[in-house]
Each structure stands twice: as C-alpha cells, then as structure tokens.
Amino acid sequence: MRGLPNIMVAPNGAKLTKADHPALPVSLDEIVTCALACHAAGADGLHAHVRDAEQRHVLDAGLYAELLAELKHRAPDLYVQVTSEAAGVFTPAQQRQLVHDLQPAAISIALREITADQDDAVTRRFFSSCAEAGICVQHILYDAGDVAHLARLVARGDVPRANLTALIVLGRYTTGQVSSPADVAALATTLTAALPDVDWSACAFGPQETACLIEAMRHGGKARIGFENNRKNADGGTAADNAERVAELVGQVRAAGLAG
C-alpha cells in the first residue's frame, strides 16, 4: 500500500466559503483546477472535500466519484484522499456509509467522530472492512487523548496495525485556533512512542502553519497545507491561492535540507 504523500494540500475544508477567500475552490471544476495547480507547485497529494450548490460540505459519494474520476484522468500520479468529516452534521453511521458506497483508495477519518457511537464491534468491523478493501485510512488526531485512544484500539485489534497512518492536527482546539512550532515535539513524540510504525503527517491552524510543518518534518512527519487550515503566508500576507501556500512550503523544505 502506498504511503502518505510528503506534501498534501487541503484546499477548502468543510466550513469556509468564497466569502473567506475568493480563490477557495468549491465546485468540482474549481477543485480539479486547484489540485492541478498545487500538484505543479510541488504537492503530491490532495485532501478533498466536496460541496453542494450552496457551498455546503457534503458526504456525497456521487460527487466524490466524479472528482476522483476526473483527477485520475488529469493527474494519475496525484494521491487523492477524500474526507468523512462530520462537521457537526453527519453521524458515524453516515460517515461509514460514505466509505461503503464510495470505496475510495484513501480517506481521512477523525477517530473521535467515527467512534462517537461507542460500539466497539461496529468500530472493529468498519476498520477491518477498510483494510480488506485496501482503503488507506488516515486517523485524524487532535490531542494526546486521541493518540492514546488510537493506541488502545490498535492494541485490541479493533484498528489494524499494518499500514497505519495518522494526521496530527495542531491548533484546532487552542484559543483562536492557532498553532506554534513549539506544539509539535510533544505530540509527535507521544504518537511515535505509542505507535512506532505509524506513517504520520501534520496540519496546523494559523499563520505559523509553514513553520509548524517544517518542524513536523524535522521530527519525521509529512505535511498537509492549505486554505482549510490557514490562508496566510509566513510573512503575514494573504496567499493568492492554495498553490502559493504549497510553493512557499516547498521552498522552505528545500532550504531546510528536508527535501526527499
């Protein structure tokens, strides 16, 4: 199974609209165009949210299938990960149904969301079915409690240990939703100590996004960048588009000697 991309772009997320930034992609055509531009700038993966006609986040297997088919045609070497994010709207059952209906190659799943119904047997069957289908599940982790939860599920066999991947989210539940490079070491160390073989990446809210991602890469992680988490460049100016955020990170990765 292919590992996580070194740089994944998250161009829109579940909550922002064009009122937040005019270059935020919401239609399928816009998402495809954005993905291609970010790929050209150095991103080797896309974290995709689809939207309805009113720019609302939806777990729509049909829309996702259209997007995946178009990207497979236009950028066959681009890693594409869809999301099952609840966004305060969708239940664990609806998230599982999306995966069942779509059967994507890769999906991100917030551990605290998918296990919110607290049915261990359902959780075990769901993650087992993903593994059997060859679906790469990236477990989204917000804090040390989520890391401990994932470690328990892995130890019990509820989550398969093989090909384990995770995303550390920095700043989601901090005051003002901002993160700092100083936040990286403790959570990265906690994760890798609990799950030494995990393939992990990080994303970061706030204007220190780039610095946080560089620090994550120094600790052996990979990076997810984009307007979903932050629209500011390191100099404080607003990025023109997602490709500009990717290009800044690529430049700093190379300057830091971290390029693979």
Q: CA-to-CA distance for 187 and 169, rounded, in angstroms?
A: 10
Q: CA-to-CA distance for 226 and 34, rounded, in angstroms?
A: 11
The mean pLDDT of 185-209, rounded to a whole number, is 96
Residue 46's identity, in one-letter code, is L
Confidence at residue 205, expressed as pLDDT on a 0 to 100 scale: 94
* Residue 19 banded pLDDT, cuts 50, 70, 90: very high
- Which range, of 26-35, 88-97, 178-187, 194-203, averages the lowest pLDDT? 178-187
Topology (CATH) of 7-255: TIM Barrel (3.20.20)
- pLDDT reading at 177 higher than 90: no
Backbone angles phi, psi at 69, to 5 degrees: -65, -40
Q: CA-to-CA distance for 89 and 86, rounded, in angstroms?
A: 6
Backbone angles phi, psi at 63, to 5 degrees: -65, -45
* Residue 118 banded pLDDT, cuts 50, 70, 90: confident
C-alpha torsion angle, residues 167, 2, 13, 55 (rounded to 10): -160
3-state secondary structure of 51: strand
Which tokens sit at 62?
């049909």
3-state secondary structure of 137: strand
Confidence at residue 171, expressed as pLDDT on a 0 to 100 scale: 82
Look up the pTM and report it: 0.95
Annotate 150-171 with b (16+ C-beta within 10 A) or e (fewer): bbebbeeebbbeebbbbbbbbb
Residue of 56, 55, 45 whose CA lies nearest to 8: 45
3-state secondary structure of 225: strand
Q: pLDDT of 51-63, one tens digit each?
A: 999 999 999 999 9
The mean pLDDT of 229-240, rounded to a whole number, is 96
Q: CA-to-CA distance for 85 and 28, rounded, in angstroms?
A: 18
Confidence at residue 175, expressed as pLDDT on a 0 to 100 scale: 72
Confidence at residue 2, expressed as pLDDT on a 0 to 100 scale: 63
